[in-house]
Amino acid sequence: MKKPLVITLNVLTWTAIFVYMIVVSRYSGRCRSERTCRSVEVRVLDSAERNFISPAMVRAWFETERIPLVGQELSSINTLELEALVRRRGFVKTARVYTSLDGRLHVELTQRKPVMRMSSVEGYDFYVTEDDCILPLQRQCVAYVPVVTGRFRPPFRRGYVGPLDSLAGNEEKKVDKNYSFLVKLINFVKFVDNDAFWKAFVVQINVDDGGSDSAEGPSVEIVPRAGNQIVRLGSLDGYREKLDKLLSFYRNGAAYEGWDRYRYIDLDYKDQIVCIK
């Protein structure tokens, strides 16, 4: 086959494909404009892992905002606005909204994952997610995550919902100090939760800020799942080294005397461990 003929056939083939795509696109657009929304289909893609959001809740959001959907022309539905509305809900991590030629509006979303719950004596009770977002507790679902108790005032008002990093750089010294500690605390909890041994070992974390007149930073204690003892970390600075020191103590010392021999273990001293029977 001669080269000019090959070139001509290629040109005709690609022209036919281009024309076909234009025709199909226009036909699909005309079908979309003529079709109405038959139903709203909501899929929570990670519902097997957590149940903070249900399809009924998503439909209720649209009803609360008085957004008519069923019976409306598909071409009149702004899917981008609906996506933005869904994303504004605290526990929503990702959202995708689209329509199909069969007249259905599809909403697909994933949920944020809590990694810590703070329950302080000052009345704060909230979740912190893996992407450092502050979220309220939910009546319909409880996340089984490490619980932080004690006396500590976070750098935001009660009921705050939103990203933690939006509070960075606050000019108030006390607030900025509390923000820095909360970031360290979250990182510590994430470290514990990602380590198989410490995740099984720690059942509760307690914080004591020492009161408003205290010059020292908050002190942290952990409660082991087994036994009847308290382990004091003190400051969270160098917490990995402190936990390594505790693990070495359990392996080389407590293994012979028993884990329950001491009711209080203090790790907040350099190169030593203080134990109280």
Sign of the torsion formed by the C-alpha atoms of 202, 206, 209 and 210: negative
pLDDT at 173: 46
Q: Kindly report the CATH number assigned to the domain that includes residue 49.
A: 3.10.20.310
One domain for residues 162 and 242: yes
Domain that holds residue 247: 114-276
Inside any domain, residue 145: yes
Reported pTM: 0.75
End position of a domain, from candidates 91, 111, 131: 111
Cβ distance 108 to 43 under 8 Å?
Answer: yes
Q: What is the CATH number of the domain that holds 121?
A: 3.40.50
Q: Please say which residue of 111, 141, 157 terminates a domain.
A: 111
Please tell me whether residues 141 and 238 are part of one structural domain: yes
The pLDDT, as a whole number, for residue 261 is: 75
Domain count within the chain: 2
- Total residues belonging to the chain: 277
Within a domain: 8: no
Same domain assignment for residues 65 and 178:
no
- pLDDT-wise least confident of 10-14, 17-21, 213-217, 236-240: 213-217
Q: Is 24 inside a domain boundary?
A: no
- What φ, ψ does residue 181 adopt, rounded to 5°? -65, -40
Note whether 102 and 61 are same-domain residues: yes
Q: What is the mean pLDDT of residues 170-190?
A: 79
* 246 and 219 in a common domain: yes
The yes-or-no verdict on residue 32 having pLDDT over 60 is no
- Mean pLDDT over the full length of the chain: 83
Asked if residue 150 belongs to a domain, the reply is: yes
Whether residue 6 is predicted with pLDDT greater than 70 in this model: the reply is no
